Amino acid sequence: MKELEKTYSVCPICFQEGKIQKIDASIIEDDEKVWITKVCQKHGSFKEIYFSDVNLYKRWMKFKVTGKPVSYVKTSLFNDPELYTEHTSQTVLTNLVVTNRCNLKHNQDFLNANTTGYVYEPSLDQLRDLMQQTRSEKPLGSKSIQITGGEPTLREDLFEIVRIAKKIGFSYVQIYTNGLKLAESIDYCQRLKDEKVDTIYMSFDGVTETTNPLIAQHKKALENLRKVNLNVVLVPVLIGNKNVHESGKIVRFALNNIDVIRGIHFQPICFCGKNTKVKDDLRESQRVDYVQMIDAIEKEFLGMISRDDFYPVSFIFPISRLIEAFTKDPQIEFTAHPGCGGSTFIFIENGKPLPITRFYDVEAYMTFLNEQTKKKGPLRKLRIASAFIKNINNFVDVEQAPQGFNLKQILKEAAIGGSQYALRKFHHQCIFIGSMWYQDAWNLNIDRLQRCVIHCATFEGIVPFCSYTGLGYGKRIQEKYSIPVEEWEKKTGRRLEDDLRILAK
């Protein structure tokens, strides 16, 4: 047993009792795995799995970075300032909850109006103010927003919400939906496309009916989105004893639908809400760590995709520094903690999956970028540019690369449009496999929380996503700014259950 890092966490039992108790914690190496351990004076010691491949963890931790200081209009941990005092990452993705209503009868989500008994649904003016919070960050406002719920398509003014987001400067708008509405109506998909929604985030827990009871609807939604040419990212929520074994099959499904699916964004089950109270053995069987997902992908692709193809989000940090050196404009910095998850790009070449890392020495390239952007003195820009042109071809194995892969062109586009546009030209030749490993009271690492880049815009200020769901701040905020279901029904003349479409399985 060896300690790798010292950090802070909270006591999960104090949390069950309704109290957020900050305690010392250690990230340790034991039995070739990484664990988080901690002791509460009142409730004793805890040990939870953190990352089940210590070598991969160590490789990723090399890419831990800290960005420029950020100034927020209002950051909030909802009256718990002692949790930590300074948040160190800017908002890469703004998360905006527009309703807590949902149309799935079997949805047991703890924030869902059907279970909570209240409706949280800010008005358009309120939503505009909420969005403005992350747009007003300094030195750079958030440019990407995810409109989410509940089920956001239940709001009849969703198109108006999208228009407001675009108008106040979000260049990238995504909608996180269960896909039911999209399966029902191609006209609705067309409207989303017409309103310039960039991407649909669609929940997608598996490729079989057992793991994904909505598979038929999801296939229909994909068919409709394909017809209107609107991109989709699949969002599987992985549960240890339920669907993690299908991770590889989900990747294969995405590769088979590469014309409409742009990527997959894996998420783990998070023990919050009603799950806070599950027994230890059930939690242990459902808990899924990052490596189990990669194991399943490796098993499906037999060496064609492996764990070495994945890098943490912060890996691409030097690109933003490079673009900044050229444009002088501040760039979005991906400073999420490496433990938050990794990603890769998979191309299809001659009918087979080909990870970007197999023909492009990304690690050497990032090291090179890092060195270049450290250059100081006169003619800095010119010296960086010339080093670039001289070295650029050293990083790509042209023989192995997909046809037409031109790194110079990609970087030129990145410099003009920002890194998120860099691979746009290749969109229909590659998919993005990403993940965001959300935390809860058991595995919470406050160092990670402090670096979170996904921020919920709330009436109490900006709340990091893992505090919003994993630590229950979202529930408290939604409760405070909501109305009872009866009042909502009276006000709207509708009944909550009229929206419910699918019966529990």
Residues contacting 120, CB < 8 A, separation 6+: 97, 99, 100, 111, 113, 150, 478, 479, 481, 482
Per CB under 5 A, 11 contacts Zn ion:
yes
Contact range with Zn ion by CB under 5 A, out of 8-16, 106-114, 158-166, 390-398: 8-16
* Minimum separation from the CB atom of position 350 to Zn ion (A): 56
* Identity of the residue, 46 or 345, whose beta carbon is nearer to Zn ion in the bound complex: 46
Shortest CB 24 distance to Zn ion, Å: 12
Tokens standing for residue 231: 């991109």
Candidates 42-50, 260-268, 411-419, 452-460 — which segment interacts with Zn ion by CB under 5 A? Answer: 42-50
CB of 20 to Zn ion, least distance (A): 10
Residue 73: phi, psi to the nearest 5? Answer: -65, -45
Residue 43 interacting with Zn ion (CB under 5 A): yes
- The closest alpha carbon to 267, from 394, 488, 438, belongs to 438
Distance of CA 31 to the CA centre of its chain: 29
SS3 sequence, 283-345?
HHHHCCCHHHHHHHHHHHHCCCCCHHHCEEHHHHHHHHHHHHHHHCCCCCCCCCCHHHCEEEE
When the beta carbons of 14 and 313 are compared against Zn ion, the nearer one is: 14
Among the listed residues 4, 8, 13, 413, the single contact to Zn ion using CB under 5 A: 13
Q: How far is the CB of 437 from Zn ion (least distance, A)?
A: 24
In the Cβ-directed half-sphere of 453, how many Cα atoms lie within 13 Å? 24
Least separation in angstroms between CB 98 and Zn ion = 35
Cβ proximity to Zn ion: between 24 and 129 the closer is: 24
Q: CB nearer to Zn ion: give 13 or 228.
A: 13
Report the 10 Å Cβ neighbour count for 126: 12
The footprint of Zn ion on residues 180-209 (CB under 5 A) is none
Residues 22-41 binding Zn ion (CB under 5 A) are 40
Closest contact distance (angstroms) between CB of 287 and Zn ion is 20
Residues 351-410, interacting with Zn ion (CB under 5 A)? none
Residue 16 or 327: the one with the smaller Cβ distance to Zn ion is 16
Residue 14: Cβ within 10 Å count? 18
Q: How far is the CB of 80 from Zn ion (least distance, A)?
A: 15
Q: Is 42 in the site for Zn ion (CB under 5 A)?
A: yes
Nearer to Zn ion, 25 or 336 (CB): 25
Asked if residue 87 lies in contact with residue 455, where contact means CB atoms within 8 angstroms, the answer is: no
CB-nearer residue toward Zn ion: 16 or 394 = 16
Residues 314, 338 contacting (CB under 8 angstroms)? yes
| Size, binding site for Zn ion by CB under 5 A | 6
Q: Which residues pair with 55 in a beta bridge?
A: none
Number of H helices, E strands in the chain: 19, 19
Q: Is 74 in the site for Zn ion (CB under 5 A)?
A: no
Instruction: State which amino acid sits at residue 331.
Output: Q
Q: Shortest approach of Zn ion to residue 491 CB, angstroms?
A: 42
Instruction: Kindly indicate which of the ranges 13-21, 220-228, 380-388, 411-419 contains the residues binding Zn ion, using the contact rule CB under 5 A.
Output: 13-21
Q: How far apart are CB 44 and Zn ion at their closest, in Å? A: 8
The enclosing H or E element of 201 equals: strand 199-203
Least distance to Zn ion, CB of residue 18, Å: 11
Is the CB of 13 or the CB of 415 nearer to Zn ion?
13
| Region from 5-13, 286-294, 306-314, 402-410 binding Zn ion, contact rule CB under 5 A | 5-13
> In this structure, what are the phi and psi dihedrals at residue 458, rounded to the nearest 5 degrees?
-130, 170
Q: For the chain, what is the largest distance between any 2 Cα atoms, rounded to a whole number of angstroms?
A: 69
CA distance 157 to 161: 6
Output 11 or 92, the one with its CB closest to Zn ion: 11
Question: Which residue's CB is nearer to Zn ion, number 21 or number 450?
Answer: 21
If binding is defined by CB under 5 A, does position 19 make contact with Zn ion? no
Gap between the Cα atoms of 64 and 68, Å rounded? 14
Binding site for Zn ion (CB under 5 A): 11, 13-14, 40, 42-43
